[in-house]
Amino acid sequence: MAKGDWIPVRAAQGLHSRQAHADMPEGTYEREISKEGFFGPAAFLHHKRPPTGWTTFEGPLRPRAFDLARLNAADPSPWAAGVVLLNKAVEVRFWKLVEAMPGLARNADGDQILFVHQGEGDLFCDYGRLGYRPGDYLYLPRGTMWRLSPDSPTAILMIEATNTHFRLPERGLMGPHAQFDPAMLETPAMDAAFKAHQDQPGAVGVEIKKRGQVSTVTYGYNPLDAVGWHGDLAPVRLNVADIRPVSSHRYHLPPSVHSTFVSDRFVVCTFAPRPFETDPGALKVPFFHNNDDFDEVLFYHAGDFFSRDHIEAGMMTFHPSGFTHGPHPKALKNMLVQPKLATDEYAVMIDTRDPLDVGEAAAAVENPAYVDSWKAA
């Protein structure tokens, strides 16, 4: 196939601003229609009313919200955790663990990220031990053998890059040390706790997930028995508190600027506390948009979720592409003037280029009234 150019348009009609997300015509609501997330051609329409002012919304397409915190603790195997969302490129599960995994897990289907929503404890893996605490991303290269040993009840959002890898996004003009310095990435240590773990007697089973099915390989000893390693591949830990978000006082940056990990067909972004825009003409809440090429998922980890009403930590919203979304009415009141200086939220966003299906676990804790949450109180 020949590679084409975008169809060239540079046009304007009626009342409009020249700069996106700033100096909008008074009393209007801006909506962005865009290609390839926030990286392709886009149009900015200025509406008389908030574009989320629907009175009814019927059929299979709709904004959805799931209260994952309400899910019960699962079997101490990650492969027993309920599937929340999935497609061919990504699988998202939510897993609650109260006691140490009796065996090891190994994901043969792809790289994996464990996002620690709650709980503290240890990750033991081929490479050594890493402690974990809330807000940690634990990156596990495909095939790593690992187990978690919680010190307190643990809740994990698991994100699999099916049949491929996680990488870091290009930093471009910001330079390689922006957002977080690569030196902030912690790797496992072969410390005294790891050595003590190696010496535990007894048989150990390794539950391997391959093509979605689990096989168990049992050893008469603990196979995490390496005495050393070297190389440029290893599990890493990064905490959301180590992320220094990019912001502009004069421009509401698109969510893609908060990308933390990228895969072939989806990105994982982190919303961390950041100052609100101060320029009088700059938008101070997320802009209304369609983002017609991506399905958008947000997991609310901690804080006060400034653009969403009735959303608490442990909930997940899912906005399939195909309709316009944007701030809830309460947040919209602060579109141009924010009473606070900064946001106070930590959230994990997963944007997928291909449509997602809802898993049984999420469907069981769905809030069916979410579609009505844009209606003014």
What residues make contact with Fe ion under the rule CB under 5 A? 296
Q: State the minimum distance, in angstroms, from the CB of residue 322 to Fe ion.
A: 12
Contacts of 366 (CB under 8 A, 6+ apart): 64, 65, 66, 358
Task: Answer positive or negative: Cα dihedral of 180, 182, 183, 187.
Answer: positive
* Nearest residue relative to Fe ion (C-beta): 296
Strand-pair category, 82-86 with 128-132: unpaired
Pairing type for strands 90-97 and 82-86 reads: antiparallel
CB of 349 to Fe ion, least distance (A): 8
Displacement of CA 96 from its chain's centroid (Å): 18
Beta carbons within 10 angstroms of residue 40's beta carbon? 10
| Residue 78 dihedral angles phi and psi, to the nearest 5° | -60, -25
Q: Indicate the residue among 118 and 290 with the shorter CB distance to Fe ion.
A: 290
CA distance 84 to 75: 16
Rank residues 188 and 320 by Cβ distance to Fe ion and give the closer one.
320
CB 289, min distance to Fe ion, A: 6
Spatial CA neighbour of 78 closest among 227, 206, 228, 253 = 206
Q: Pick between residue 235 and residue 255 the one whose CB is nearest to Fe ion.
A: 255
Strands of 75-195, DSSP E: 82-86, 90-97, 104-107, 110-118, 121-125, 128-132, 136-140, 145-150, 154-162
Q: List the beta bridge partners of residue 357.
A: 86
Closest approach of Fe ion to the CB of residue 240, in Å: 19
Shortest Å distance, C-beta 110 to Fe ion: 25
Give 109 or 296: the residue with its C-beta nearer to Fe ion: 296
Residue closer to Fe ion (CB basis): 109 or 277: 277
Nearer to Fe ion, 106 or 325 (CB): 325
Write down the least CB distance from residue 171 to Fe ion, Å.
Answer: 23
